[in-house]
Homo-oligomer: A and B are copies of this chain.
Amino acid sequence: MTTQEILKDAKNAKSYLATLGAVEKNKALCAMADALETEYDSILAENALDLDAARGTVSDVMLDRLMLDQARIKAMADGIREVAALPDPVGRILTQRTTADGLMLKKVSVPIGVIAIIYESRPNVTSDAAALCIKSGNVCILRGGKEAYRSSHAIVNAMKNGLTKAGFRADIIQILDDTTRTGAAELMKASGYVDLLIPRGGAGLIRSCVENATVPCIETGTGICTVYVDQYADQAKALGIIENAKTQRPSVCNAEETLLVSRDIAKEFLPKLKKVLVDDRIAAGRQPVELRLCQEALAIIPGTPATEKDFDTEFLDYILAVKVVSCVKEAAEHIAQHSTHHSEAIITENKENADYFTAHVDSAAVYVNASTRFTDGGKFGLGCEMGISTQRLHARGPMGLEELTSYKYVITGNGQVRK
């Protein structure tokens, strides 16, 4: 199908899906999950073709991301069932009041409409995104990466078959056949068809959406996350948090990229840091962290001299940019200049400095004495996650089901007119 046909089909399916009740939507989700498990052999066959084509042209990490097996398909199906088990985000009464004119005014949550998701190579995003959209009453248009073309289409076909068998319309899930830039560009410009565009991927994709989209778009993901170790830090806590934030999973957006250390404790703290992130890891046979140090830190411990660019880089790797600052105020200023407003942390036992940091640091998630790695829909208790918004409008931080809804006002009167 052409992208234009897909857009029209999606728009057509909107009011059908928006008026399905919670019980019906959950039945639809379970049918999709069952179908993934029933049709796993055809999904694996298509996935094998994707893997064959990708082998030799992409890294092993990428190949692993692309690879499906029966256990991974089972996990995808279980993921859909978990979404089904969450509370319905549609139809919540957000506020209710009787106005001065005697009107009963209700603010009720409703689906956004058609959500387009542009993502990269992981096939599980396909089922994940579709489940979150359907649960929140939104028709989805998926546009996956070209490496996963056959896998994503097989997953969507299975889910559509499940829907049809259970008596639901299958057009509530759409997938773009066009995986070129043209397909993505058409989605970005589909005013009147796409109510929300969510790009999930690297900085280039997100920038392209922000610059080119005429449809509403939510920026997700890019995280230059900072940990500031205050002079009043419990240094053992600080080391534990930094090790976790930097090394537990360096490739994700909530991993730490920058460390700021108070000058008052730098001479004492930086050697401990080097021990934890470099020496101990080498001794344990684990990958050490490359420390990119400002001049002042470099006078205390050995490492790579940092360039200014290092403080504006999302490494997504075992690399940490380190800078000595005078105080919490300078830390907040550095963050205002360099961070992507995703997640930042202060490590301190001093309430005043903690309060200053949480008031002045303007990021989606601001931590006191905890790892930035907690910025996650599951960890925040949202039950699931469509992505992490780094913008300020509509949704900020992890986006769960409620963040995939809008609202409308329903006003009931008995003939009132405005005077």
Residues in A lying within 8 Å of B, measured CB to CB: 15, 18-19, 97, 99-101, 103, 105, 110, 112-113, 191, 195-196, 210-211, 214, 216, 218, 234, 236-237, 240-241, 243-245, 248, 336, 354, 358-360, 362-371, 373-375, 379-381, 391-394, 396-397, 406-418
Contacts and interface: CB of A to CB of B under 8 A. Distances in A.
Contact of A418 (B113, B373, B406): B373
A240 B414 CA distance: 11
A371 B102 CA distance: 13
A379 B418 CA distance: 9
Nearest to A357: B410
A362 B90 CA distance: 13
Nearest to A366: B410
B370 A103 contact: yes
B397 A241 contact: no
B244 A417 contact: yes
A393 B214 contact: no
Contacts of A112: 392-393
Given A97-B381, A244-B418, A366 B409 contact: yes
A381 to B, nearest CB: 6
B241 A417 contact: yes
A405 to B, nearest CB: 9
Contacts of A241: 415-417
Given A237-B414, A367-B411, 14 more contacts: A113-B392, A191-B210, A211-B214, A216-B216, A241-B417, A354-B412, A365-B411, A368-B412, A370-B415, A370-B416, A371-B416, A375-B409, A379-B418, A397-B408
B105 A380 contact: yes
Contacts of A216: 216, 391-393
A97 B414 CA distance: 41
Given A15-B336, A360-B19, A371 B417 contact: yes
7 contacts: A112-B392, A196-B393, A364-B408, A368-B412, A370-B415, A396-B406, A396-B407
A397 B94 CA distance: 14
